[in-house]
């Protein structure tokens, strides 16, 4: 299952603190690079989002909890959509409603 995990650093959080925590968790084997499908920082710093693959919310929570004193999280389950297939489904929905 894929999860969208938006983060925003708390006002007191320093780059050094985040870097140190990430390295601690990585070096302890708490993260696997294949688990993090995408990592995006927003321009300006201090916020961004991860796309994480985790089988259940408990595993995801265990990964994010070590950072909860440094940043807030907004987490949502997500799924991919094939654009062309979705357009066709929407056309069918509109046609059915019109009849």
Question: 3-state SS string over 47-77?
Answer: EEEEEEECCCHHHHHHHHHHHCCCEEEEEEE
Edge-first strand order for the sheet with 36-41 is 36-41, 47-53, 2-9, 71-78
- The pLDDT tens digits for 42-76 are 999 999 999 999 999 999 999 999 999 999 999 99
- The pLDDT tens digits for 22-43 are 999 999 998 888 899 999 999 9
User: Domain spanning 2-98 has what CATH number?
Assistant: 3.30.70.1060
């Amino acid at each position: 299952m894929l999860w969208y995990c938006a983060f925003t650093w708390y006002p007191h959080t320093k780059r050094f603190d985040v870097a140190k925590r990430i390295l601690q968790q990585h070096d302890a084997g708490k993260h696997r690079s294949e688990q993090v499908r995408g990592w995006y920082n927003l321009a300006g710093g201090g916020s961004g989002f991860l796309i994480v693959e985790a089988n259940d919310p408990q595993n995801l929570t265990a990964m994010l909890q070590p950072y909860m004193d440094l940043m807030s999280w907004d987490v949502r389950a997500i799924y991919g959509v094939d654009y062309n297939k979705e357009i066709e489904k929407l056309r069918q929905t509109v046609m059915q409603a019109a009849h």
